[in-house]
Structure 1
Amino acid sequence: MASALRPPLTPPPDPASARGIAAALKLDGQGRLIDVGCGPGPLALDLAHLFSEVVGVDPDPGMIAEDAHEAARRGVGGTQGTPGDEVAVLTRAGFTGPHRHVVPGGQPLERTSADVVPWVFSMSYAAPHLFGTRSDAFEAEVRRLLRGVSPSGRFSEQQRSSEVFVWRRSLAEA
């Protein structure tokens, strides 16, 4: 695990994504969000204020631990994580789905090195727990490479569209 001074694992939230998802799903601050394949929790934590409860599901227990760390760092309560397979977990909990929703992207986003490094760590192949004691060295190398391509430390990207797969409580369970 990286030092206690490591940056957050996720870049700052993009308010447009949370607003787009909230509008597409007609969220009202009620209900439970189950983020399947949550990784370190960027989507669930960004949307936590729109639900009464948030549950992260990921097959990698290390990602669940990072999600919990990030929730504590952000001061987001009411979240819990569990390792597991999405279909088994959601079916057992009485949900049907998935129902696919697309939130259009295309907006330009300006990022700094401080945003890009956590994004790299949020990838399943670059999660900090995979590096063990070498996590700090990996982070230093990523920062060195970023300085090499952009001495100003500024980057731009085009926001991608987001796919959201919604599982709903089956009518028989409601």
Structure 2
Amino acid sequence: MTSYTPDELFASTAPYYARYRPGYDPAFYNTLAQRFTLSGTERVLDLGTGTGVIALPLARLVGHVTAIDPEPGMLEEGRKLAAEQGITNIDWRRGDSTTLPAMHLDPVLLTVMGAAFHWMDRDQTLRELDQLIEPDGAVVLASGGAPGDIEPAPWLQIITDVRTRYLGPQRRAGSSTYTHPPERHQGVLARSPFSGIDIIRWDRTLTRTLDEVIGLQFSYSYSSPAQLGDRKDAFEHDLREALTDFAPAGTFDEIVRTEAIIATRS
């Protein structure tokens, strides 16, 4: 797999990520609470936490969350959000899947990962987590589902067209390009110690404003301010104009999926 440095991918996205990413369906957290009988005492690891999209709501259900991310700006945004919400049981730590053995973490009941697992050496990460997760614990992967699982909203093509004019047809990833792993996470999990797999999905409709749609684009590694450089303002102008022509009312509906893969030891 191609390796990417955090500065290339997400350094410029952090404030947009914190503000515009929609988070996961509340039913996801209810399911974890019921499935693992969370009592407010458990330790969990959020690996690739970003700005704490999962760590913040999960912290209300467990005793302690270790939130790890390689990008300092993401961690700083997470700390700000935690302070605003009065959440004090998250330990924000810089690191990634390759630094786990050296971080000397306490055992955890759950390791949760949002849209970060596909950036990792997945097989090696699961071997490391087998040493960390308690016997009755689990790996939990949360995402929007695999590409193509949901019919995209028609206005997303408008964004693709404008982004392609500025950044080309291939999905950018730092100074390189990105290709989604051909093997789904389920296949990697099936040959790991965590081969007992349950998949649960929830769909909801989100309505965004024009400003929210544009801000969301700057939260992605492939259309980040760093990728656009001095063309960021021009990109925003053209995107705003194209979306307004498409939807003059300025509202944009999209079906958003939360997919949870819960993997336990068989």
TM-score, normalised by the number of residues in structure 2: 0.47
Aligned counterpart, 2:259: 161
Distance 1:68 1:109 in 2: 29
Q: Which moved more, 1:87-96 or 1:20-29?
A: 87-96
Compared CA separation, residues 79 and 9, structure 1 to 2 (3 A): farther
Compared CA separation, residues 127 and 56, structure 1 to 2 (3 A): farther
Whichever of the two has the greater Rg, that structure is: 2
Q: CA deviation at 1:38?
A: 0.5
Regions of 4+ moved over 6 Å: none
Which secondary structure does the structure 2 equivalent of 1:38 belong to? coil
Q: Deviation per CA, 1:80-131, whole angstroms, max 9, x where unpaired?
A: 3111123643673243526345451142332323665565454445567x47
Q: For 1:22-171, what aligned pairs fall within 5 Å after superposition?
A: 22-86=33-97, 88-89=99-100, 92-95=104-107, 96-97=129-130, 99-101=138-140, 102=198, 104-113=200-209, 116=213, 119-125=216-222, 130=226, 137=233, 140-141=236-237, 144=240, 146-152=243-249, 153-163=251-261
Distance 1:139 1:125 in 2: 13
Distance 1:77 1:138 in 2: 41
Which secondary structure does the structure 2 equivalent of 1:63 belong to? helix
Distance 1:155 1:148 in 2: 16
Compared CA separation, residues 36 and 109, structure 1 to 2 (3 A): same
Asked whether the 8 Å contact 1:55–1:79 carries over to 2, the reply is yes
Q: Which runs of 5+ in 2 are unaligned?
A: 1-11, 108-128, 141-197
TM-score, normalised by the number of residues in structure 1: 0.67
Q: Deviation per CA, 1:128-164, whole angstroms, max 9, x where unpaired?
A: 7x47x97x84895597255454444131214131235
Q: CA deviation at 1:25?
A: 2.6
Which secondary structure does the structure 2 equivalent of 1:11 belong to? coil
Number of corresponding residues: 165
Distance 1:78 1:139 in 2: 40
Aligned counterpart, 2:28: 17
Distance 1:112 1:81 in 2: 30
Distance 2:28 2:243 in 1: 25
Q: Which amino acid aligns with 2:105?
A: A
Q: Which runs of 5+ in 1 are unaligned?
A: 167-174
Compared CA separation, residues 54 and 100, structure 1 to 2 (3 A): closer
Asked whether the 8 Å contact 1:9–1:40 carries over to 2, the reply is no
Q: Root-mean-square deviation (CA), in Å? A: 4.0
Distance 1:29 1:46 in 2: 12
